[in-house]
Amino acid sequence: MASIYQTGLAARKRAPAAVFIAVAIGMAAPAFAEDKPAVPAKAEISQEPASKADVKKAEASQIPRIAPDASTFQLSNGMTVVVIPDHRAPIVTHMAWYKIGAADDPAGKSGVAHFLEHLMFKGTKNHPAGEFSAKVSEVGGVENAFTTADATAYFQTVAKEQLGMVMGYEADRMEGLQLTDAVVLPERDVILEERRMRTDNNPAAQLSEAMDAALYQNHPYGIPIIGWEHEMAGLTREDAVSQYERYYTPNNAILVVAGDVTADEVKKLAENTYGKLPRRAEPGVRNRPKEPDPLAERSLVLRDQRVSQPSWSQSYLVPSYVSAKPAEAEALDILADILGSGPTSRLYRSLVVEQGIAGSAGSYYSGNGLDYGRLGFYAMPRGDVSLDKLSAAVDAVIAEVREHGITAEELALAKKRTRASTIYSQDSQSSLARLFGSAMISGQSLSDVQDWARRVDAVTLTDVAQAAAKYLDKRRAVTGTLLPAPVETRS
Ligand SMILES: [Zn+2]
């Protein structure tokens, strides 16, 4: 799963401070050599502000917006289109998103959204299996698809002249997919094998699956995206087709095109391809079950002989950007950044540098879900330090922030890193398309995404203190420990 916020965090770790500084003083950062500077024109910044309000306004105008030239429109069949102009190279990334994810899998049919993602490559009335992929590779493009808890998406990156071609094929498989048992059943073996490779052969993935199941006591985020093996094994052609008929309709899709195109160009192409498709179904509102207020702290242990390095992790149930109250999700992003992002974070300084008990330690906020998010912590012991000791040390860092909040200096630095990550997030066309797609598929608006750094900049010390006090409550937490199993001795 990827999101603006995860992208932001990852970028923050990568982005050198110099990137931010270079752009802030009006020089083009290397990554944006051909692009519009991410800050307003110099004249606007250098105007002498006349009052405090003007100073604030001038400061706000220096906070970069993500893809300020992006725009959105709707086709007459209800399909939403987002265009993100990026003229640095003559290529485009075309990404078709559907509002159907693993959390929409019917009860007992876990894994069907992901199964359908695979089956979408099996050919249509007009184009046999493999033709679309062959065409993309023939023109030197790349393609793939992914399923999250809330969405399924298909994407291709091609030369700009090929945009009409991929739109034609993608529109075709939105309505013309043809599935027979002869193609469905072997593909079911493929997803079962994928599960074995990704989860069952990996104790850390098994533990994280069990932690999700414990964290979400009632919401389907507790069910693995790939599905439970015994349910996957029973998936049928009919299961896949009924999901396809219900959800793969233009009014349930968002098309994101990022690259060397204008909105007018995309509109013309979209009207000639997707625009010709009728609405096939009304999927209705996504009515997901809610979590009860958690009362019991949960703790899981997984021992496995394949584990060579013990590790510790903890997840707190928190809201997402969509479900949070104003400023709460932004405050959680800041909190995770200060507690555990990079070598200057509180966790790293305390556990790795000062106490020397951990080889690594950190925290993150996943806020891109439609219904819930997670505030995660992790640490790996150094030498033979026990996981109990590690856990107690993380607890102490968390207790400190719950009691005293963060400092003004920490807040200012975290905001500065957010601005840098906003700029850095625009470096990759496909991550931009993913960022806008994943946010908008969950109901956020174009400007919600564009103005993320501005909203983060408005977060106060009180916002962060309140978020820490409210959400870093042990009753909301699931702790997981991964340990090597003792080798069985035989007598
Ligand atoms: Zn897969």
Q: What confidence tens digit (pLDDT) does each residue in 35-68 have?
A: 223 333 333 333 333 455 555 555 566 788 999 9
Of the listed 44, 117, 409, 410, which one is catalytic?
117
Does any domain span residue 18? no
The protein residues having their C-beta less than 5 angstroms from ligand 1 (an ion) are: 194
Does any domain span residue 3? no
Tell how far the Cα of 198 is from the centroid of ligand 1, in angstroms: 10
Does any domain span residue 15? no
Query: What is the pLDDT, as a whole number, of residue 56?
Result: 57
* Long-range own/partner contacts, residues 483-486 (CB < 8 A, 24 or more apart): 483/301, 483/302, 483/303, 483/304, 483/307, 483/310, 483/387, 484/303, 484/304, 484/305, 484/307, 484/308, 484/310, 485/303, 485/304, 485/305, 485/307
Q: Are the CB atoms for 83 and 257 separated by under 8 Å?
A: yes
Query: What is the pLDDT, as a whole number, of residue 421?
Result: 86
- Rounded to whole angstroms, how far apart are CA atoms 153 and 445? 18
Does any domain span residue 171? yes
Which residues, 6+ apart, have CB-to-CB distance to 354 below 8 Å? none
Q: Is the predicted pLDDT of residue 267 greater than 50, yes or no?
A: yes
Same domain, 139 and 240: yes
Tell how far the Cα of 111 is from the centroid of ligand 1, in angstroms: 10
Does any domain span residue 125? yes
Same domain, 151 and 205: yes
**Percentage of the residues of the chain whose pLDDT score is greater than 90:** 83
Q: If you ran DSSP here, which 8-state letter would residue 425 be given?
A: G
Same domain, 215 and 82: yes
Does any domain span residue 229? yes
Domain that holds residue 445: 298-484
Last residue of a domain, one of 276, 310, 333: 276
Query: What is the pLDDT, as a whole number, of residue 46?
Result: 32
Same domain, 134 and 263: yes
Task: Give the pLDDT confidence of 117-152 residue by residue, as tens digits.
Answer: 999 999 999 999 999 999 999 999 999 999 999 999
Task: Identify the three-state secondary structure at position 107.
Answer: coil
Same domain, 83 and 211: yes
Same domain, 359 and 412: yes
Q: What are the C-alpha distances in Å from 463 to residues 325, 367, 395, 460, 466?
A: 11, 16, 21, 5, 5
- Rounded to whole angstroms, how far apart are CA atoms 298 and 308? 24
Pure H helices in 62-180: 112-119, 131-138, 163-175
Does any domain span residue 341? yes
Same domain, 329 and 380: yes
117 assigned to active site = yes
- Rounded to whole angstroms, how far apart are CA atoms 380 and 238? 45
- Rounded to whole angstroms, how far apart are CA atoms 480 and 311? 8
Give the tokens for residue 295.
């009362």
CATH number at residue 230: 3.30.830.10
Same domain, 348 and 215: no
Same domain, 165 and 213: yes
Same domain, 109 and 176: yes
Tell how far the Cα of 380 is from the centroid of ligand 1, in angstroms: 29
Does any domain span residue 145? yes
For the chain, give the mean pLDDT: 88
Tell how far the Cα of 193 is from the centroid of ligand 1, in angstroms: 9
Same domain, 170 and 255: yes
Which residues, 6+ apart, have CB-to-CB distance to 48 below 8 Å? none
What average pLDDT does the segment 354-373 reach? 97
Tell how far the Cα of 103 is from the centroid of ligand 1, in angstroms: 16
pTM (two decimals): 0.87
Q: Is the predicted pLDDT of residue 354 greater than 70, yes or no?
A: yes
Last residue of a domain, one of 226, 244, 276: 276
Q: How many domains does the chain have?
A: 2
Q: Is the predicted pLDDT of residue 20 greater than 70, yes or no?
A: no
Gyration radius of the chain's alpha carbons: 24
Q: Is 76 exposed, middle or buried (0-12, 13-18, 19+ CB in 10 A)?
A: exposed
Tell how far the Cα of 179 is from the centroid of ligand 1, in angstroms: 17
Query: What is the pLDDT, as a whole number, of residue 486?
Result: 77
Same domain, 454 and 310: yes
What average pLDDT does the segment 253-272 reach? 98
